[in-house]
Amino acid sequence: MKELVTIQQKLKAPKGQYNTFGKYKYRSCEDILESVKPVLAETKCTLTLSDEMIAVGDRIYVKATVTLTNDKGEKEVTTAFAREEETKKGMDGSQITGASSSYARKYALNGLFCIDDAKDSDSTNTHEKEDTQQPAKTPANTAPVYTGAQLKKAIADMLAVKSRAELEKVWYGNPAMQNDKEFVNACMNMGKIYPAQ
């Protein structure tokens, strides 16, 4: 879709939020949406966002889907996941879900529009000491503690389960892989077949 290339080139999404506790600027989902609307109008595209709640074991994930559609009906779709915290000080359940939704949507938008968050608070929290702070450990700069072959086997095991109990056994038996996108996607797909009771 050629319009996506245009949007990616023209979109400027500044970090419009400031965390006073951590002393860093960051970009919210709302900042991205506000910045992209004029470019969407220019390219005659529409953007829709939706969420799906997915249970994996005893945890809830929000799967955010972002769909870009041009005037010919062609679509580009991206998804991202965020895990709900069990509790968060000062937040009720709906606020926790809303925060997870916003986080997942932000990263789905980042993926679709190629927004680089390398210096965003979620990956590098500098606390105004850029020369002395080390980058936060993220999947991009932390080597996994498992091999590609181990990941393939775990995914194959996940796809071969025949019950919810087997699904949870594979999930909890591979804690190092619980942040791996492929592993999480396989688990979520099987979780739809064998939902929590």
Q: Does the pLDDT at position 133 exceed 50?
A: no
Q: Clarify whether residues 15 and 109 are in a common domain.
A: yes
Q: What pLDDT is recorded for position 57?
A: 82
Same-domain status, 119 and 186: no
Give yes or no: residues 119 and 148 share one domain: no
More confident residue, 123 or 2: 2
* pLDDT, mean of residues 45-54: 95
**pLDDT for 129 beyond 70:** no
What's the pTM value of the predicted model, to 2 decimals? 0.58
One-character DSSP codes across the chain:
-HHHHHHHHH------EEETTTTEEE--HHHHHHHHHHHHHHHT-EEEEEEEEEEETTEEEEEEEEEEE-TT--EEEEEEEEEPPS--TT--HHHHHHHHHHHHHHHHHHHHHT---TTSTTT---TT-TTTPPPPP-TTTS--SS-HHHHHHHHHHHHT--SHHHHHHHHHT-GGGTT-HHHHHHHHHHHHHS---
Same domain, 148 and 118: no
In this structure, of 31-35, 81-85, 119-123, the range with the lowest mean pLDDT score is 119-123
Q: Which domain holds residue 41?
A: 1-123
40 occurs within a structural domain: yes
Span 41-51, mean pLDDT?
A: 97
User: How many domains does the structure of the chain reveal?
Assistant: 2
Based on the domain organization, do 97 and 166 belong to the same domain?
no
pLDDT band at 95 (very low <50, low <70, confident <90, very high): confident
**Residue 134 falls within a domain, yes or no?**
no
Please determine, for residue 155, whether its predicted confidence score (pLDDT) is greater than 90.
no
CATH of the domain at 47: 3.30.390
* Domain membership flag for residue 128: no
- Tell me if 132 is assigned to some domain: no
Task: Looking at the structure, tell me whether residues 119 and 52 fall in a common domain.
Answer: yes
- Tokens 């949507």 map to which residue? 105
Q: Which of 65, 91, 123 is the last residue of a domain?
A: 123
